[in-house]
Amino acid sequence: MRFFLIDRVISFVPGVNARGVKAVSLSDEILHDHFPDYPTMPGSLLLEGAAQLGGFLLEMSTNRPGAPLCRALLVQVVDARFYERVGPGELVEISVEMGSTIGDATRVDAEVTHGTARAARLTLTFVLKEIPSARVHEQRRRIYRLWTQDLDPRPEIL
């Protein structure tokens, strides 16, 4: 990933749900062009933040020591609805919850809020695939360690 849209995971229940936060800042490069006089976090990036946290939830819930590592791949945006604008200075909270699993596909429901306002509601579908790349696995371990450094207890990162 070139950019990360989760700053910290604030809660995690394996196989159930996770919550994370993103502090939107005027120093976020995308806000300089979207829009010059009305900086707004694009809906596509709110969706990407939910996908990153949804992938974290699935990977951390299913990978086991000694088994081949699988990574979550977003394969479908089932539903995406955007409600309120998110701008600089706002703390975005993303909540994801595991839904139904059919075959190798798992649905994840997500909600993006800032303060008391709902910014987005999403339903995403992921598949878990074995990825034979040490670089991918090390990158995920590194970012997951950063995201979970304040969790107690801190989950084992594979």
Query: Per-residue pLDDT averaged across 130-143, rounded?
Result: 95
CA 117, chain centre distance (Å): 19
Q: What is the dihedral of CA 24, 29, 30, 32, to 10 degrees?
A: 100
What does pTM read for this prediction? 0.96
- pLDDT number for residue 30: 86
Share of the chain above pLDDT 90, in %: 89
Query: End-to-end alpha-carbon separation of the chain, Å?
Result: 18
Question: pLDDT per residue over 89-127, tens digit each?
Answer: 999 999 999 999 998 899 999 999 999 999 999 999 999
23 and 4 in contact (C-beta within 8 Å)? Answer: no
User: Which among 32, 34, 114, 137 is annotated as catalytic?
Assistant: 34
- pLDDT number for residue 36: 87
CA distance 140 to 143: 5
pLDDT band at 158 (very low <50, low <70, confident <90, very high): confident
Domains of the chain: 8-147 (3.10.129.10)
- pLDDT number for residue 17: 98
Query: Per-residue pLDDT averaged across 55-77, rounded?
Result: 96
Choose among 3, 33, 12, 5: nearest CA to 95: 12
**pLDDT of 1 strictly over 60:** no
Residue 114 annotated in active site: no
**pLDDT of 39 strictly over 80:** yes
pLDDT band at 134 (very low <50, low <70, confident <90, very high): very high
pLDDT band at 24 (very low <50, low <70, confident <90, very high): very high
